[in-house]
Amino acid sequence: MTAPKLVLSDDQWRERLTPEEFAVLRQAGTERPFTGEYTDTKTEGVYQCRACGAELFRSTEKFESHCGWPSFFDPADSESVILRADDSMGMRRVEVLCANCHSHLGHVFEGEGYPTPTDQRYCINSISLRLVPAGS
């Protein structure tokens, strides 16, 4: 895995982020399902990393998965995220990180049968994202 472009100490991250944001973005926490601000959002725009502002996803790749978190079938650019094995919680998953600052975003799942072009579901915490509406 390549080194992050933005490197801050935990204290510096704590100054930038709320305690809830820090818990998810920097400590790989997860927000409760169906509670995030972007779970059901249909606003057109770009989803950025809440920690560093890097463009991660676009509303054109967002879809309704009814899983409790925003779901995307593809990142805005394949190099905007890093995927790595996550064997925590007694299961094998693939963690999604922001390539720019290595903040935790969520997980990606494959082969679930959603009618999307990639058959992938990037299950992303709302608190890891910031939506910039189209035209802003």
Question: Tens of pLDDT along 40-63?
Answer: 999 999 999 999 999 999 999 999
The active-site residue out of 49, 52, 101, 123 is 123
Report the C-alpha gap between 46 and 98 in whole angstroms: 14
Q: Could you give the residue ranges of the DSSP H alpha helices within the chain?
A: 10-16, 19-25
What does the pLDDT read at residue 54? 97
What does the pLDDT read at residue 33? 96
- Answer for the pair 72, 80: CB distance below 8 angstroms, yes or no: no
Per DSSP, 36 falls in state S
Q: Which residues of the chain have pLDDT under 50?
A: none
What does the pLDDT read at residue 50? 97
Please, what CATH class does the domain formed by 10-29+43-133 belong to?
A: mainly beta
Residue 123 annotated to the active site: yes
What does the pLDDT read at residue 125? 98
Q: Which two tokens mark 103? A: 């903040």
